[in-house]
Amino acid sequence: MTSTHEETLLSVRNLVKNFELRASRGIRKTQRVVQAVSDVSFDVKVGQTLGLVGESGSGKTTVGRSVLQLIEPTSGQVIFEGQDLTKMSFEELRNVRRQMQIVFQDPFASLDPKMTVGSSIAEPLVVQGVGGNHQDKVAELLDLVGLATDHAKRFPHEFSGGQRQRIAIARALAPAPKLLLADEPVSALDVSIQSQILNLLLDLRREFGLTMPKKIK
């Protein structure tokens, strides 16, 4: 079935995430529950950009990680292309995750310092068992985000923050996802670079028809 822009790609229903905190005071052990996300619901249509707005610590990142099942929600539903991700096994999720990628907030922490840029970008393809010439794909992705193809041989510490975020975006695009979640992708960058990265994301959304829930400060 061919998707239209009126179709809902992602539905989040009554999402709740609680964290149990344990502490020891002498011989006494205490435990309390912190509710990080409380009854969150929203829909994202195909090709739509949706921003989550809230104060620092309000649970935006937790919502994003729960949507991608990087952490397990306490309750609620996360429905992607008609399938409830919260009901899936690890292997079933593995097959779906190729369609969902994330760009993390901190480009300094999100890239492995021991891997070349080319290896980092190709890693999702290797994990997902995608065949073909990964070197050519890496070169194509680097060009797409405005970097030179010979950057593939270099390491993350050789790049600026803005360049690292471009590399992280290229890596997220490698498996050709339908959903790209951006977790405050410019907050760790200089103000002069922020608009460049935002414009890049908007251009990529238009070119590839990406659906993008974004976390905004």
Of 66-80, 96-110, 113-127, which gets the smallest average pLDDT?
Answer: 96-110
Tokens 């907050």 — which residue?
A: 187
Looking at the chain, list the stretches that DSSP marks H as alpha helix, in order from N- to C-terminal side. 60-67, 90-96, 107-110, 117-127, 134-144, 161-173, 191-208
Structure confidence at residue 203 (pLDDT): 84
**Would the pTM count as exceeding 0.75?**
yes
Of 19-33, 44-58, 149-163, 176-190, which gets the smallest average pLDDT?
Answer: 19-33
Above 60 in pLDDT, residue 1?
A: no
Separation between Cα atoms, residue 87 and residue 93, nearest integer Å: 9
- With both helix axes pointing from N to C terminus, report the angle between 191-208 and 161-173 in degrees, rounded to the nearest 10: 20
Q: So where are the chain's domains?
A: 8-18+34-216
Question: What's the whole-number mean pLDDT along residues 14-33?
Answer: 80
159: which 2 tokens? 């790049």
139: which 2 tokens? 């070169």
Separation between Cα atoms, residue 156 and residue 144, nearest integer Å: 18
135: which 2 tokens? 């070197």
Question: What is 8-18+34-216's CATH superfamily?
Answer: P-loop containing nucleotide triphosphate hydrolases (3.40.50.300)
* More confident of the two residues 77 and 200: 77
